[in-house]
Structure 1
């Protein structure tokens, strides 16, 4: 997966790099000034263009940041140093909300199928696990830790980007089918939840995991996918008569974008619509925000839905 061996080197626009890596445009510009990387070229219109080798390095940096590394310590390092860091320190680290995750050996077997291009076997085995364990356990005990393992394996250079994309598509399609198969609850007492991300957030697998668990809780979910402008989020919430807007933020999200976007959304939404946020963005833990409920892990989703129902019954009691 060394891009130096690519037969046709390409250069991507800053918008394409943001979509591909999940690193915001503003962050890329700041790193360019502060750390001397990335080092984009310019197209005929003077716009930044990024060679594929730099984009590949940015993906590795993003993975390391997701594992808790600070950008100031890793952005200026060589690709070899970054891969060495991943190889030496990356490991399966189940989140606190998954105390009984599937065994690491079982998870590694899924990764091995990816590495041998056995996508049919991967889908078959994941479907078997989903059918046996149910959607709740599948999301919490398999998808969450397996996604972290796939990311770690890719960051070490042991998984190609097309294999990671295949994994994402396979898991997403299985969750989509499972969500559609969940019986619809009777009317009344069920919140309508609008799910999406801000324009700077391109990763949607976590959002789909949340949608799965919310649907199991009886919520009516309306997913807009990723990268929705704030004004459009507010318009969609009112058009669908949403009770809750749920947003996901990964670790690389610029803190100012998070705070400013949530403040703007608060102004645009009526007070009757709750705001739930989750993900790894540190600012969510550091700075309490008015009307914003932080879902610290997957298990807190059920608590949030329970509290919404309790307040709703109180208002109508």
Structure 2
């Protein structure tokens, strides 16, 4: 959701006899260059052409397939089950795996709850290219609901619904970018509007992602909930090298490092990264991880706390304060 290439720019960069270079495919899909090369050898997909310099170039059809594959990996499917499937099959799998979001997105079904009605209206504003209505509706919902329910009950499912709409071809990248920019502004304003605590309650939390993790909206939702709990947050944005995370944690004297993982990485890579980071951080620095990556919860790593749902942040903060 944080790709910097819009469909217009993307189309302008591809001629009839060429395609996207691997760096652009990485930005468009969130799939790392090494992952694409491994899949090419292991599964025979993708099947890039070569440009005059011998570098890989990928057709737009293959990029769309890779986008769908990326979404399916994000909801728990294994690469071996989906890599190389055609677009129609991938979209069918996505529909089967996401019945709630597809009910919300359906134009022929009536939403089943008040929250679905609000989400349906917001999706309509995105599709109608109406940032004013989108911003007003989100800001009004935040004031009416309060920040914590707004994040957990509206922003989280809406973000999932927007992602599904993009994967199924209902939204273009520029429409997804519109949503990301608007909701980022709304959340930043809400965080800035919180009354500052006279004395920081702790913990002081460093927020970021490891390399190849480009999604920042999840971090912002976590930051909003932590700020509401009176925590001090230091956000580094996305894709911070492990060594820099360690240096930043020491420089800012944080109590906690919090990382978000999607399901794009192999489980072994995630576990190795976490073990390395845990070994390099001070023993007194807690390490919290969360996100859609199933490996986080299937194979716990000693000294690391997992937060599978946003609702788990408040108990974790309370536990830290009790221990300190």
When normalised by structure 1's length, the TM-score is 0.88
Counterpart check, 1:195 vs 2:200: no
Inter-partner Cα distance in structure 2 for 1:2 and 1:201: 21
2:29 maps to which residue?
21
Deviations along 1:102-160, one digit per CA (max 9) or x if unpaired, are 52232111111111111211111111111111211110011111111112222221111
Decide which of 88, 91, 107 is 2:119's aligned counterpart: 107
Matching residue of 1:41? 49
1:118 paired to 2:126? no
Residues 1:296 and 1:8: Cα distance change in structure 2 (over 3 Å): closer
The equivalent residue for 1:59 is: 67
RMSD after superposition: 2.5
Q: Provide the residue aligned with 2:181 in structure 1.
A: 169
* CA distance in 1: counterparts of 2:114 and 2:233, whole angstroms: 27
Task: Extract unaligned runs of 5+ from structure 2.
Answer: 1-5, 103-112
Supply the distance in 2 between the matched residues of 1:26 and 1:102 (Cα, whole angstroms): 44
Bigger drift between 41-50 and 55-64 goes to 41-50
Deviation at 1:2, TM superposition (A): 9.5
2:239 pairs with 1:239:
no
Q: Tell me by how many angstroms 1:90 deviates.
A: 3.2
Q: What is the count of residue pairs matched by the alignment?
A: 306
CA distance in 1, matches of 2:62, 2:182: 27
Change over 3 Å in CA distance of 1:44–1:30 after alignment to 2: same
CA deviations on 1:81-118 (whole Å, 9 max, x unpaired) are: 32344345533259xxxxxx852232111111111111
Deviations 1:201-252 (A, max 9, x none): 1111111111111111111000001000000000001110100000000012
| 1:262 equivalent among 271, 274, 284 | 274
Cα deviation code 1:244-281 (max 9, x no counterpart)? 00000001222222112112212221101110000111
8 A Cα contact 2:206 2:233, kept in partner: yes
Q: What residue in structure 1 maps to residue 148 of structure 2?
A: 136
Rounded Cα–Cα distance in structure 2 between residues aligned with 1:133 and 1:54: 42
1:80 aligns with 2:88: yes
* Distance (Å, rounded) in 2 between the aligned partners of 1:2 and 1:199: 24
1:229 matched to which residue of 2?
A: 241
